[in-house]
Amino acid sequence: MYPSEIMTILILFHLSHYRDFKNFYLEHIWKYHHNDFPTLLSYPRLVIMLTVLGGLIAYCLKWKKPSLKVFYSEDDFSVTA
């Protein structure tokens, strides 16, 4: 299942009237949108994927990311005529 499909399901959940994600996923997505998502995961596997994506989203939203220390040698910038 692609991350874009998971994000689409999360957006649909927030736009729905359901109060908890489990009932939304099992009663709405699994029954009515099974053909729309051909690689639909079981609920326990989806929860694991959400925790993995949650960590990635938390890292992306972090204000101070660790900087990448990139060093170039002077040979990379030498100009020869």
Predicted pLDDT at 50: 83
- pTM for the whole structure: 0.63
CB-based burial, 9-45: b 16+ in 10 Å, e otherwise: beeebeeeeeeebeebbeebbeeeeeeebeebbeeee
Name the token pair of 9: 């399901």
Is the pLDDT score of 7 beyond 70? yes
Is the pLDDT score of 81 beyond 60? no
pLDDT band per the 50, 70, 90 thresholds, residue 21: very high
